[in-house]
Amino acid sequence: DIQMTQSPSTLSASVGDRVTITCRASQSISSWLAWYQQKPGKAPKLLIYDASTLESGVPSRFSGSVSGTEFALTITSLQPDDFATYYCQQYNSYSPWTFGQGTKVEIK
Amino acid sequence: QVHLVESGGGVVQPGRSLRLSCVVSGFTFSNYGMHWVRQAPGKGLEWVAGIFYDGRNKYYADPVKGRFTISRDTSKNTLFLQLNSLGAEDTAVYYCAKQKLPLATAGPINYWGQGTLVTVSS
């Protein structure tokens, strides 16, 4: 199965900071990767899919990129509502899907 | 509006079975791949199982392969997860989830249920 290695596990930042979270796939998944935001007690919310496509209604300060098997989620100017846990997920067809371990973005 | 409502969770003894259901509405159920994702208390998300929109293909995470079975009943707009041989490691909130794009073999998840808690304990 494809493994997703997400880092860092925790990130301390301030409002207005630029933050980047990365995920590395254990093998090629093309661009079949999504990023989700989850807040405590809530279901995850889709932010980015196909590595770099912004989901409708998601602020443009969120962006995704890919280079080979390394994927990144960038928040250009962190807002108070952005403090949450973020997960990557690969969805390669005809094989089990996997999530990254998660990154908790905390207030510095 | 899209709605996914899970049920069937509860406290179950180790080694026993449970069947989770997810009733959906607001979209054409037979056109979308569906999944179960779980989250143990204080832990991250774990994809559990997925089923193609037409039910032809099913996939499972290694920890549940051979113990869990995903299925769907289009006539009832319902997704199921049969959980057998449960262990403490299966304790989690189980979410039902819908793929974003119709008639696709894979894709991101854009809707989630509220989750149903399964607790495996003697």
pLDDT tens for chain B, residues 1 to 122:
999 999 999 999 999 999 999 999 999 999 999 999 999 999 999 999 999 999 999 999 999 999 999 999 999 999 999 999 999 999 999 999 999 999 988 899 999 999 999 999 99
HSE-CB for B72 with a 13 A CA cutoff? 24
- Report in angstroms the alpha-carbon separations of B25 from B1, B9, B63, B113: 8, 20, 30, 11
Q: Is B108 on the interface with A (CB under 8 A)?
A: yes
Nearest neighbour of A1 by CB, restricted to B35, B62, B110: B62
Phi, psi of A38 (to 5 degrees): -130, 135
User: Which chain B residues have a beta carbon less than 8 Å from that of A1?
Assistant: 61-62
Q: Where are the alpha helices (DSSP H) in chain A?
A: none
pLDDT tens for each residue of A20-37: 999 999 999 999 999 999
Task: Determine the pLDDT at residue B105.
Answer: 86
> In chain A, which residues have pLDDT < 50?
none
Which chain B residue shows the shortest CA-CA distance from A40?
A: B42
Task: Determine the pLDDT at residue A17.
Answer: 96
- Report in angstroms the alpha-carbon separations of B20 from B9, B34, B88: 6, 14, 17
Mutate to test the interface with B, among A91, A92, A93, A94 (most CBs of B within 10 A): A91
CA distance A87 to B5: 23
Q: How far is B111 from chain A (nearest CA, A)?
A: 8
Phi, psi of B31 (to 5 degrees): -100, -5
Q: How far is B3 from chain A (nearest CA, A)?
A: 13
Q: How far is B107 from chain A (nearest CA, A)?
A: 6
